[in-house]
Amino acid sequence: MDQIHFEKKLKKLEGQPFHTYKDLSSLSVTIQNYSVLFKHIQGSVGASPASLCQLVISSDFLPLPEWSLSSVARITAAEDYILRIFNDAVTLYAQQNRGDEGSGSFQTVKMPQQILKRNIVHISAHLLSIDFRISLPGSAKKTTLYKDVIQMFSHELPQIVKFIKDSILEKETMKQHCDCVEDMLTLQDNLSQYGLIAFVADGSLLARESGTSDRPAHFHVVPFKAPNDLAIEVVLPNAGKIRGLGLRSGINTIIGGGYHGKSTLLNALAKTIYPHIPGDGREQVAVNKQSVYICAEEGRSVRDLNISSFFSLLPQASDPHHYNTDNASGSTSEASAVIEYVQAGAKLLLIDEDSSAANFLYRDPDLRKLIPEDPIIPFFDRVQELYTHFGVSTLIVASGSPYFLAVSDRVIAMKEYLPVDMTQKIRDLNDHRVLASKVIPKTNLSIFDKRILCLNNFNPEYINKRLQKAVPIRIKALRGQEHNIIEYGMDQIDVRYLYGIVDSSQLMTIGYLLLLSKQLSLYKKKCSPTELAQKLADLTYEKGLNILNTKPPPPTFFAQISALEMAGALNRLRSLQVHVEK
């Protein structure tokens, strides 16, 4: 349909009940040099999710540079860049909230500092498409407002498209975006070739705006610089040779005084599983893809997990070989996280003493003598075994205890936000037996997922008890906790402690992956939670995120997740049902 007939169709809807906008469903409209497809129409004024449209621009009108399509990394970066400039264009040219209840608005996508593969923007040599949410305008009387719709699609959208075109044709900023992502992903892929688990480039600005914000700090930040003993040079495709701190596999401990940058360094690594946007300050920081942040998480659920490597006994006659709880303690939750993530393939554990259960991490030598019957086998006693037998490295921030210094391969002190190599000084102390020694546990470390998923898992149905009404599929973020909690059926999954979850769209990916596993019976044959998490992550990488589109497709935006994040979410599902075959 052309623009003239589209406007005539809208005029006929003027003053009609809001639901008559449904007449636009599946309609494709050509406006100037692009087209708009109405993929989903909201049911009421101000409804969430809003209507979903797809903007399609031909390469005849907007040819994309060849270098933006030359690799998977560059395609991901270019699509991310285009989504960010779409957001900028909406802010510049769209009048918002022109209808009742906030309707009559183009909705932007809140973007993190990280760059993720999404299902929103797609580019190829032939066309560019952008899915966008738009809240169609409605009056206080719940009727349509056709003049406002025309204003949005015939006047504002053309300005948005022109802004996108001009930004892409300018090329330099978009190329910088693509170069940055290609460099970081290349560095991440090549870490093992350099013998590293992490790298922090000289000049990086690691500090953030605040403890609750991932944006760069606005105050003066000391640029990062590696000490000569720990410095390494790496070669990147676009930036060329750069120097920085190279962290090698094994046990690494970070020490230092308060407010000297210890946790800032650890958090930077925890957040750089994915590439960062240019200018973030962390764009030349890379960590092993299979890295995970471990912390205490009181109150989480655990299902039939063998934590006997860390607990010889549990209270209330619980069996540490089959640990089941809806309310884990700090120590049992952290032990469970270590076991679950190693089962899922983690190669680097990032731990901050301040966010951990002290009685899980270590045990004072004097207390060992006073209370020899303590059932906890501390992580300190297992950390070397974890690396030697399972190839899992540890990077720990030690704020107030010296215990991990005794077993560390490298010790880094942060002094006024700059790293200093303290390894040799610590070894000298160790030679004089100043530091505590670990106790060799009586049993070997056992980390294998022998649990089998029961067939009645992942029911997406929600029963509204108040209305006595059943909703066949409910997958949505909890209102007010859109970045932390996803509602799936009758259950809620709390992912606030999963540092690899940086975007609310990743929560929707988790929810629809659970639905997909139910629909395709992906765990019908004996399958552990670990194996299912890997299957689901592999599916999204091999088939793309559109594999999550049901019929009709949900008006939902998805973003990539890893097997570790999927495993973390699975293991936090309170309704999870498993059994262990003998």
> DSSP string spanning 61-90?
TSPPPGGGGSSHHHHHHHHHHHHHHHHHHH
Instruction: Fill in the DSSP letter of residue 23.
Output: G
pLDDT score, position 190: 96
Residue 299: CB atoms within 10 A of its CB come to 12
Buried b (16+ CB within 10 A) or exposed e, 402-414: ebbbbbbebbbbb
**Mean pLDDT estimate for the chain:** 93
Mean pLDDT, residues 331-341 taken together: 98
Q: How does strand 291-294 pair with strand 348-352?
A: parallel
pLDDT score, position 434: 60
Asked, for residue 10, whether it belongs to a domain, the answer is yes
pLDDT score, position 413: 97
Reference 553, options 29, 37, 35, 21; nearest CA is 37
399-456 confidence digits (pLDDT tens): 888 889 989 999 999 999 999 999 999 888 776 566 667 778 888 998 999 999 999 9
Q: Which of residues 141, 170, 199 is at a domain's end?
A: 170
Residues 408, 509, single domain; the answer is: no
* Measured distance CA(243)–CA(226) in Å, rounded: 8
Q: Which of residues 170, 193, 214 is at a domain's end?
A: 170
Mean pLDDT, residues 256-267 taken together: 94
pLDDT score, position 435: 65
Whether 282 contacts 217, CB under 8 Å: no
Mean pLDDT, residues 296-307 taken together: 96
Distance of CA 196 to the CA centre of its chain: 23
Q: On the CB side of 360, how many CA atoms lie within 13 Å of its CA?
A: 28
Spatial neighbors of 147 by CB under 8 A, at least 6 apart, are 14
Asked, for residue 214, whether it belongs to a domain, the answer is no
Asked, for residue 48, whether it belongs to a domain, the answer is yes
Indicate if the pLDDT at residue 518 is higher than 90. Answer: yes
Mean pLDDT, residues 315-323 taken together: 87
Asked, for residue 252, whether it belongs to a domain, the answer is no
Residues 20, 149, single domain; the answer is: yes
Q: Which of residues 131, 152, 170 is at a domain's end?
A: 170
Asked, for residue 183, whether it belongs to a domain, the answer is no
User: Residue 45 sits in which domain range?
Assistant: 3-170
Percent of the chain with pLDDT over 90: 80
Whether 252 contacts 173, CB under 8 Å: no
Residues 9, 132, single domain; the answer is: yes
* Measured distance CA(435)–CA(21) in Å, rounded: 72
Asked, for residue 308, whether it belongs to a domain, the answer is yes
DSSP 541-559: HHH-GGGG--SSPPS---B
pLDDT score, position 555: 77
**Range in 68-82, 145-159, 199-213, 435-449 the model is least confident about:** 435-449
Reference 133, options 107, 102, 99, 163; nearest CA is 107
Residue 363's pLDDT band, with cuts at 50, 70 and 90, is confident
Cis peptide before 375 (omega within 30 of 0): no
Specify which of 2-6, 230-234, 401-405 reaches the highest per-range mean pLDDT: 230-234
Reference 257, options 418, 375, 107, 445; nearest CA is 418
**Range in 345-359, 363-377, 537-551 the model is least confident about:** 363-377
Spatial neighbors of 465 by CB under 8 A, at least 6 apart, are none
233-253 confidence digits (pLDDT tens): 999 999 999 999 999 999 999
Percent of the chain with pLDDT over 70: 98
Residues 405, 475, single domain; the answer is: no
Residues 369, 312, single domain; the answer is: yes
Mean pLDDT, residues 80-99 taken together: 96
Residues 105, 154, single domain; the answer is: yes
Whether 386 contacts 392, CB under 8 Å: yes
Residues 407, 466, single domain; the answer is: no
The number of helix segments (H) and strand segments (E) in the chain equals 14, 27
Residues 522, 417, single domain; the answer is: no
Residues 409, 501, single domain; the answer is: no
* Measured distance CA(195)–CA(193) in Å, rounded: 5
Mean pLDDT, residues 113-129 taken together: 96
Rg (CA), the chain: 26
Residue 367's pLDDT band, with cuts at 50, 70 and 90, is confident
- Is pLDDT larger for residue 556 or for residue 67? 67
pLDDT score, position 1: 86
Q: What ranges in 306-377 are assigned the alpha helix state H?
A: 330-343, 358-361, 365-370
Q: Is the dihedral of CA 41, 44, 49, 50 positive or negative?
A: positive
Residues 411, 470, single domain; the answer is: no
pLDDT score, position 469: 87
132-147 confidence digits (pLDDT tens): 999 999 999 999 998 9
| Domains in the chain, number | 3
pLDDT score, position 436: 65
Residues 463, 334, single domain; the answer is: no
pLDDT score, position 467: 78
Residues 412, 507, single domain; the answer is: no
pLDDT score, position 196: 97
Asked, for residue 237, whether it belongs to a domain, the answer is no
Asked, for residue 47, whether it belongs to a domain, the answer is yes
